[in-house]
């Protein structure tokens, strides 16, 4: 039983045939009061301002106030979580963005342990649930396979596709948190891999695959990266392979199996509440338009022209939204070049509540408006099933806001189903996201990723979109927030319980 009350957010949508498209979903992530600032507006300078209350911002803000730093959290939305949040609809939790957790995500699992959630998990799929098979529709008719058969076909296709070095990427990417060059692999070797798109790599190996195996591979790549095989760089897949321990057999348990039972917004709220208890101040529904640094002080200017000043700013705005923010001094030419190219993940994630027991259902359609579908446990009451589905870049093909009725048609292609409601967050139309978690085109990582990770004067850039390890994951967001907070603390001043007087002056 959650200790939180689900309040109505401006985010999210429900579609039913009876009521049409209705905006706004209830979530534990809504913060009330929306503003809590004790510091008088008299020109005082904060020690730190954190822009954005996703996981990067929450971890950074919590770590800063825990160390005694006067910190302000600014968030454009009415809730915490950013691109990761859970909605509560008639007693059922729907994960609207980032969802799954795993023991291989060390920072994330550590946060779950800290707040007593390490055992509060559920599984996306149910063994021996209704419709316990895999449907595959490649345009020539729909067929059913056992999950074992579908898994074997997918594993064969993936292993041929990913084996660029003859060792399932162990040689080319032995240290995935230092993937752009390290003591074992040179930058030039990595750069050669980064020149390939996923389409380039598929063209190299497609004669080794059956039509079904090729269809599974062509759909799996955009399922992971939210784009297409044409525009996702192959190095992105190499890093994913390394991070999941070089084995497609671990894909499900790392990427799509375990969830926090009461939703990601429960963990986000616990981090926020911890920070609030420690003295965090905040303002929600506060979009910003400018970040200006002068004489070492950073001014954050809101869209209603309020100016907030700090010694350091931790900026967690996603890469797709960064071009909307004015920086003075300007961002480096290389970073501006990266922002013009930007990322390729324009995924569509759709949930549905359907009549009956479809908990065992999984499937793939290629080509199709949706690529993958998962039975995702019973809804509250145990008489209907929660369905989760994914597509790659559907811009210009399926717009969930303009044509929500087509969502039902796309879902029914996998399996006959009586749909009670469709629940989703349209990340592409969201002005504070504009896309999913970042995946990049060929050639991008080796040229731009180090630049994106750099600070901009006294502005620390912290977002999962350019994480060193699990880029685009909750784990990567927490990595970025923690690293940024450590940098701020080292520069603004961190004193232990028993500091040695004049330690640094005596050493120097």
Which tens digits make up the pLDDT trace of 132-167?
Answer: 999 998 877 789 999 999 999 999 999 999 999 999
Rounded distance between C-alpha atoms, residue 415 and residue 426, angstroms: 24
- For the segment 70-79, the average pLDDT, to the nearest whole number, is 98
Rounded distance between C-alpha atoms, residue 452 and residue 449, angstroms: 5
390 known member of a binding site: yes
For the chain, which residues make up each domain, given as ranges? 7-85+263-341+438-492, 125-256+348-426
Report phi then psi at 115, rounded to 5.
-110, 20
With bands split at pLDDT 50, 70 and 90, how would you rate the model's confidence at 11?
A: very high
Report phi then psi at 114, rounded to 5.
-60, -35
134 known member of a binding site: no
With bands split at pLDDT 50, 70 and 90, how would you rate the model's confidence at 505?
A: very low
- pLDDT greater than 70 at residue 40: no
Distances 448 to 34, 340, 396, 445, 456 between C-alpha atoms, Å: 36, 11, 28, 5, 15
Cβ proximity of 348 and 401 under 8 Å = no
The topology (CATH level 3) of 7-85+263-341+438-492 is FAD/NAD(P)-binding domain (3.50.50)
The token duo for 365 is 């359609």
Sheet holding 121-123, edge to edge: 100-101, 258-260, 121-123
How many helices (H) and strands (E) the chain has is answered by 14, 25
Topology match between the domains 7-85+263-341+438-492 and 125-256+348-426: no
What's the pLDDT at 502? 63
Rounded distance between C-alpha atoms, residue 358 and residue 385, angstroms: 6
Residue 24, CB-side half-sphere exposure with 13 Å CA sphere: 7
Tell which CATH architecture fits domain 125-256+348-426: Alpha-Beta Complex (3.90)
Rounded distance between C-alpha atoms, residue 7 and residue 29, angstroms: 8
Rounded distance between C-alpha atoms, residue 456 and residue 404, angstroms: 41
Which tens digits make up the pLDDT trace of 393-444?
Answer: 888 888 999 999 999 999 999 999 999 999 999 999 999 999 999 999 999 9
């Amino acid at each position: 039983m959650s200790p939180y009350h689900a309040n109505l957010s401006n985010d999210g949508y429900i579609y039913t045939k009876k009521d049409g498209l209705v905006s706004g979903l209830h979530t534990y992530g809504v913060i009330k009061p929306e503003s809590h600032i004790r510091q008088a507006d008299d020109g005082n300078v904060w020690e730190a301002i954190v822009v954005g209350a996703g996981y990067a911002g929450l971890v950074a803000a919590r770590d800063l106030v825990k160390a005694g730093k006067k910190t302000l959290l600014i968030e454009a939305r009415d809730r915490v979580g950013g691109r990761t949040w859970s909605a509560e609809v008639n007693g059922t939790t729907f994960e609207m963005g980032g969802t799954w957790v795993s023991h291989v995500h060390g920072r994330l699992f550590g946060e779950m342990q800290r707040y007593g959630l390490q055992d509060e998990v559920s599984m996306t799929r149910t063994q021996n649930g209704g419709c316990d098979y895999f449907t595959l529709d490649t345009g020539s008719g729909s067929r059913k396979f056992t999950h074992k058969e579908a898994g074997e076909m997918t594993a064969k296709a993936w292993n041929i596709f990913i084996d660029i070095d003859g060792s399932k990427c162990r040689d080319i990417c032995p240290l995935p948190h230092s993937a752009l060059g390290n003591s074992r692999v040179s930058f030039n070797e990595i750069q050669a891999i980064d020149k390939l798109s996923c389409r380039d790599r598929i063209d190299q190996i497609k004669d080794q695959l059956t039509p079904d195996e090729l269809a599974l591979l062509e759909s799996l790549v955009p399922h992971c990266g939210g784009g297409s095989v044409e525009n996702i760089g192959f190095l992105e897949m190499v890093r994913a392979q390394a991070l999941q321990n070089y084995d497609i057999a671990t894909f499900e348990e790392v990427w799509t199996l375990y969830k926090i039972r009461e939703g990601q917004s429960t963990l986000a709220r616990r981090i926020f509440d911890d920070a609030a208890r420690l003295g965090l101040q905040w303002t929600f529904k506060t979009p910003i338009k400018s970040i200006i640094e002068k004489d070492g002080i950073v001014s954050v200017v809101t869209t209603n022209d309020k100016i907030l000043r700090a010694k350091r700013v931790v900026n967690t705005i996603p890469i797709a939204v960064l071009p909307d923010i004015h920086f003075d001094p300007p961002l480096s030419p290389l970073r501006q070049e990266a922002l013009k190219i930007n990322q390729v993940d324009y995924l569509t994630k759709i949930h549905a509540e359907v009549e009956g027991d479809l908990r065992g259902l999984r499937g793939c359609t290629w080509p199709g408006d949706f690529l993958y579908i998962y039975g995702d446990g019973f809804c509250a009451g145990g008489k209907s099933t929660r369905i989760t589905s994914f597509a790659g870049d559907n811009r210009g093909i399926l717009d969930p806001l303009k044509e929500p009725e087509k969502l039902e048609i796309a879902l029914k292609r996998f399996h006959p189903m009586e749909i009670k409601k469709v629940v989703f967050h349209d990340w592409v139309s969201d002005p504070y996201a504009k896309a999913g978690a970042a995946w990049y085109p060929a050639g991008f990582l080796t040229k731009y990723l180090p630049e994106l990770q750099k600070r901009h004067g006294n502005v620390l850039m912290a977002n999962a979109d350019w994480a060193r390890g699990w880029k685009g994951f909750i784990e990567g967001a927490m990595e970025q927030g923690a690293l940024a907070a450590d940098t701020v603390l080292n520069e603004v001043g961190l004193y232990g319980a028993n500091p040695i007087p004049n330690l640094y002056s005596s050493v120097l």
